[in-house]
Each structure stands twice: as structure tokens, then as C-alpha cells.
Amino acid sequence: MIGKALPVQARAQKTTGRIGVVDIGSNTVRLVVYDVPDRMPVPMFNEKAECRLVEGLSETGKLSEKGTARAMASLGRFVQLAESMRVDTLDLVATAAVREASDGEAFVRAIEETFEHITVTVLSGAEEAELSALGLLVGVPTATGLLGDLGGGSLDVVLLKNGKGLKYGTLPLGHVRLRELAGGKIRKANSIIKENLDQSEWLQDAKGQDLYLAGGVMRALSRVFIEQMDYPLHIVDQFSVRSDEAARMASLLAGLSASTLKKIPAISPARVKSIPFAAASVAQLVERIKPKRVVFSGYGMREGQMLKRLPPEMREQDPLIAGAMTFAERTGRFSLDGSEVANWVSPLFPDMDTADERRILAACLLSDIGWNEHPDYRAEHAFYRCLRLPYAGLTHADRVFIATSVYVRYNGDFDAPLVNSVQSLLAEDQLKKVDGIGRAIRLAHTLSGSAPGLLSRTRLERKAKSLVLHLPGDTAVFRSDTVERRFRGLTKVLGLRGLINKKAV
């Protein structure tokens, strides 16, 4: 028998600000715990259990008995883990299967009776879609097009324009439900998908715009796309593909047998049955709205629920910059401010746009990320850590730009295979800029020793054909062969004549 848990709010002697979300989904039950410092939270724990509550729902109208037993066991673990992690707020939200099952209310009562002071919120279809959109928008704040969040029981759809949700809907096309309704037959599944899409004429309003795809099975599908395309970066969030390529691969996957799917390394055994039906839905969505591109999101309903718990000023933060600032504060050696480094570097690139400014600031905030690594591997480790940042709000090009800048900052070889493998994700003009930015950040750390109060006593000045490094002439702290050598390296990369002015700044 599962023991009763203590109330979440009463467990911790000291509040942590941590937020936990338990997503009681149609296919899985998942706990995500977010660490909430003074800025946008980042996930610190994420675990799912395959419960398959929706199995048999199409036939019986009830939740799976085995599924509810698995879910209760998983909830027992998750609630007690939240207690041990001193989570201040624990939200349990249930989606399509619980919402639509005739015994869904009884299942919710059983949860609330078993775990004291726990309340389960059963989301309506529109609420679930709205939360999915909120989760997507934390990473793509100006998203325009159609969001499709595919779960085991439903496909939630949202029409977006410039980061605003215009219309919300939910369709009974979850990958488990669809498979059951179609009796495991893709041809019948295609007819069911078409019939449901035909009833949502407003989907046509997203024609020619982006199609955003979220949900666990969509993330699994994206990994197959990444592998089949030999794509250089194995990160789902904001992985994008041309619509014709997405339609081709989705149609192909929808037609493969289970035995063939099992041979594809990117598909886990648990997803073999679901992938063809998810792929069929994608193929028809692409055919229906003919999007400019298909973009996969690593964020969705759970992140939306977490964001609802945050104060408005925190929700408005840039997740990349907020995450980088928090990381720098927790792991940096000294208190040299990344913003100070970014301002010092900025005169090098007078033509940079807002996107460049943001990337440079993030690179500067993370520029001391490798200080405690072994010197022989510092550049490599820093590169991979920046490339794989666990934050929202980064395109794949952003990741390569930031990671390569920090790699060069640690004296990494710009032409090394490590960097070359992902350079195709950056435009040619951006590649030229990255080398200079990395060298400038390296010079900034060399001048200051990464300590506060020194860099601000120097400055860079870019002229038409030259770069001037202004140093105060009355102190020995800036007198260094290393400084001069690294300044020469920077000017060479930029194609400028270098001059060091050792007078009062």
C-alpha cells in the first residue's frame, strides 16, 4: 500500500522556491522539478513512467486498470521525491485520458485521498493547448504558425501570430488512441486524421507559416529525422527541417513495419508502435498547411504550467540570458561581470544587430565556464557545455555561435574537426565574426585576470582600418607580452592594424 505523503508546503524548514510539475498524461506520468533562483528556472530533475492510462479507452471508455495501478505507484515515488527535494509548490495536472474517461473523476479522487494536501487539476482541451503554447513561447517568443502538441490521447493545436495564441483546439488523434481507433492500420488512421482535420477549417489560417511540433512522441520522431539526415547537432529543441523533407520522411516512417522500425537505432522499443501513427499525423498536417518549415520544440505543457507559477517580471526574462547569468554567478571564479566583458567587446562590431548582441552577451556570461577544467581539455569541454546548454531560447545557430566563441576564448583551434562538424549551421558572415569575438573575450580575460575592477580601466576603439587598445600608462598590471601577443592575434583575424595606446584612458 502506498503511504500517505506529508503536505508539500509543510516539509521544508526553509523555502527553496522550487516548483514541481507532475504531468499525468495519457501515455506517461512525468515529474519535472525546476530550480527557481532569482531568474528564469531551469529543470533540475526529470523522470517519466510509462503508464499508458489511455490504453483501451476507445473501446471501454475507461482508464486502463494496469495503467492506473502503474500511475499510482509512480505518483507515490514522485510525491515523496518532491518532499525530499524540498519542492515548495507541486502541481499535478491531468490531460486527455483522465478528462475523457468515465472513471476519470474516481481516479482523481483516489489520488487526492491517497496523498494528503495534493490536488489534481484536470485540464480542458483548450487549457492544455494554451499551456502547450505558453511552453513553446518561452523559447520562441515571436512564434507564428501552428503548434501541434501530440500526446497519447489527443493532438492539441494552437494558431499563433507573433507570439500570441489566436485559436485553440484539441483533436482525438493521440498516437495511442489513433492506433486503437484504426485497429493498428495506417490506411484507416489516415482516414481518421483527415476527417478530424477537415472539421478544423481554421487550421488553414496557418498556411505557409511555421509548423511547431511538441510532445514526447514528436521529440522521438525528431531524433529519427536527425539521424536520417545525418544532422550535426543532436538536440531536439528548435531543430527545423524543410516542409517537403519532413513530409517525405514522415510518410516513409508511417509506412514501415514494426520489424523495420525496430532496426532504427533512434527509435526506442517503447515508441515502435506509436511512431507510424505520429508520423501519419505529421504528414497530413504538413500537407494541410504547407508550412514554410517544421520546427520541433523541447518544451510544452509542463513548462507552461511552471511558467504560470512565476511572477510576471520573471516570465518576461530571456531564458538564455537568465540561465547564463545564473550559471556564471554559481560557477565563476571571481565577480567579473559578463555584461562588462560584452560592453568592452562591442566596439569591435559596430554593425551588429540585436541577435548578435544577445549571442555575444551569452558568450561573455559563459566565458569563464571552463576555468576549473584540465587545461588540456578546457576548450573542448567548454565548447560542448555551451553547445548543449539546457536552456530555452536558443536556435541551433545560436548554440554554435556561442559555443565556438567560448571555444576560441580558450584558445581552441577554429579549424579543428570539433568545430567544423557544426559550422554548417552558421552563415558565412557569422563564422568570420565568431573567431574575432572569441579572441576579444580571451584578451579581456587576459587583461583583467578575470578579476573585477580592471577591465573597465581599459577600452577598445575601432577605426576605419585600425584597432586601438587603450591602456592606462601609470600601472604595471597591464604590462604583459601575453596581452600584446593576443592583441596582435585579434587584429590579424579582423584584418586591422593594431595600436596599443599606453596613456590614461
Cα torsion for 308, 310, 315, 320, to the nearest 10°? -110
415: Cβ contacts below 8 Å, ≥ 6 apart: none
Residue tagged 545564473 (cell numbers): 326
Please tell me whether residues 279 and 368 are part of one structural domain: no
Q: Inform me whether the pLDDT recorded for 424 exceeds 60.
A: yes
Q: Inform me whether the pLDDT recorded for 406 exceeds 60.
A: yes
C-beta atoms surrounding 291 within 10 Å: 22
Please tell me whether residues 130 and 39 are part of one structural domain: no
Domain boundary among 300, 332, 366: 300
Report pLDDT digits (tens) over 107-132.
Answer: 999 999 999 889 999 999 999 999 99
Residue tagged 536520417 (cell numbers): 228
pLDDT band at 5 (very low <50, low <70, confident <90, very high): very low
Domain encompassing residue 179: 126-300
Q: Where are the alpha helices (DSSP H) in 173-299?
A: 175-181, 186-198, 216-228, 243-254, 258-261, 275-289
Q: What is the pLDDT of residue 381?
A: 96
Q: Inform me whether the pLDDT recorded for 307 exceeds 70.
A: yes
pLDDT band at 142 (very low <50, low <70, confident <90, very high): very high
4: Cβ contacts below 8 Å, ≥ 6 apart: 114, 115, 116
| Residue 84: inside a domain | yes
* Residue range 168-185: mean pLDDT, rounded: 95
* Helix or strand run (H / E) with residue 436: helix 428-448
| Residue 33: inside a domain | yes
Nearest to 308 by CA among 91, 150, 142: 91
407: Cβ contacts below 8 Å, ≥ 6 apart: 379, 380, 382, 383, 386, 414, 418, 419, 438
Please tell me whether residues 93 and 179 are part of one structural domain: no
| Spatial distance between the Cα atoms of 505 and 498, rounded to a whole number of angstroms | 17
Mean pLDDT of the chain: 92
Q: What is the pLDDT of residue 9?
A: 43
Q: Inform me whether the pLDDT recorded for 398 exceeds 60.
A: yes
Q: Which residues, listed in sequence order, are joined to residue 210 by a DSSP beta bridge?
A: 145, 293
Q: Inform me whether the pLDDT recorded for 345 exceeds 70.
A: yes
Q: What is the pLDDT of residue 504?
A: 58
Q: Inform me whether the pLDDT recorded for 10 exceeds 50.
A: no
| Residue 1: inside a domain | no
| Spatial distance between the Cα atoms of 192 and 169, rounded to a whole number of angstroms | 17
Does residue 265 contact residue 182 with C-beta atoms inside 8 Å?
no
Please tell me whether residues 143 and 270 are part of one structural domain: yes
**Lowest mean pLDDT, pick from 92-101, 220-229, 278-287, 306-315:** 306-315
Please tell me whether residues 101 and 186 are part of one structural domain: no
pLDDT band at 335 (very low <50, low <70, confident <90, very high): low
Residue 29 has phi, psi (to 5 degrees) of -115, 130
Q: Inform me whether the pLDDT recorded for 4 exceeds 80.
A: no
Q: What is the pLDDT of residue 415?
A: 87
Report pLDDT digits (tens) over 56-92.
Answer: 999 999 999 999 999 999 999 999 999 999 999 999 9
| Spatial distance between the Cα atoms of 227 and 266, rounded to a whole number of angstroms | 7
% the chain with pLDDT above 90: 81
| Residue 464: inside a domain | yes
Q: Are strands 120-122 and 89-94 parallel, antiparallel or unpaired?
A: parallel
pLDDT band at 264 (very low <50, low <70, confident <90, very high): very high
Please tell me whether residues 135 and 267 are part of one structural domain: yes
Does residue 356 contact residue 402 with C-beta atoms inside 8 Å?
no
Please tell me whether residues 340 and 459 are part of one structural domain: yes
Q: Inform me whether the pLDDT recorded for 334 exceeds 80.
A: no
Q: For residue 290, what is the domain's CATH number?
A: 3.30.420.150
Please tell me whether residues 90 and 103 are part of one structural domain: yes
% the chain with pLDDT above 70: 97
| Spatial distance between the Cα atoms of 138 and 143, rounded to a whole number of angstroms | 10
pLDDT band at 505 (very low <50, low <70, confident <90, very high): low
Please tell me whether residues 429 and 357 are part of one structural domain: yes
Domain boundary among 82, 106, 123: 123
Q: Inform me whether the pLDDT recorded for 219 exceeds 80.
A: yes
Higher pLDDT, 159 or 478: 159
Cα torsion for 99, 103, 108, 109, to the nearest 10°? 150
* Residue range 471-488: mean pLDDT, rounded: 89
| Residue 47: inside a domain | yes
* Residue range 385-392: mean pLDDT, rounded: 93
DSSP letter string, 17-74? --EEEEEE-SSEEEEEEEE-SSSS-EEEEEEEEE--TTTTHHHHSS--HHHHHHHHHH
DSSP letter string, 76-115? HHHHHHHHHTT-SEEEEEE-HHHHHSTTHHHHHHHHHHHS
Strand order in the sheet with 466-471: 459-462, 466-471, 497-502
Domain boundary among 300, 328, 356: 300
Does residue 204 contact residue 251 with C-beta atoms inside 8 Å?
no
Q: Inform me whether the pLDDT recorded for 33 exceeds 60.
A: yes
**Lowest mean pLDDT, pick from 188-192, 204-208, 327-331:** 327-331
Please tell me whether residues 78 and 153 are part of one structural domain: no
Please tell me whether residues 151 and 266 are part of one structural domain: yes
Is 151 exposed, middle or buried (CB count within 10 Å of its CB: 0-12, 13-18, 19+)?
buried
Q: What is the pLDDT of residue 333?
A: 77
Q: Which whole-number Å values give the CA distances from 196 to 103, 154, 170, 201, in the listed order?
A: 25, 11, 10, 10
pLDDT band at 338 (very low <50, low <70, confident <90, very high): confident
Q: Inform me whether the pLDDT recorded for 267 exceeds 70.
A: yes
| Residue 3: inside a domain | no
* Residue range 336-362: mean pLDDT, rounded: 91
Please tell me whether residues 360 and 477 are part of one structural domain: yes
Domain count, the chain: 3
Q: The C-alpha cell of 346 is what?
A: 562591442
| Residue 345: inside a domain | yes
Nearest to 307 by CA among 183, 58, 132: 132
Q: For residue 400, what is the domain's CATH number?
A: 1.10.3210.10
Does residue 448 contact residue 336 with C-beta atoms inside 8 Å?
yes
Q: Inform me whether the pLDDT recorded for 288 exceeds 50.
A: yes
**pTM for the whole structure:** 0.91
Q: What is the pLDDT of residue 1?
A: 32
| Residue 57: inside a domain | yes
Q: For residue 41, what is the domain's CATH number?
A: 3.30.420.40
Q: What is the pLDDT of residue 252?
A: 96
Q: Inform me whether the pLDDT recorded for 474 exceeds 80.
A: no
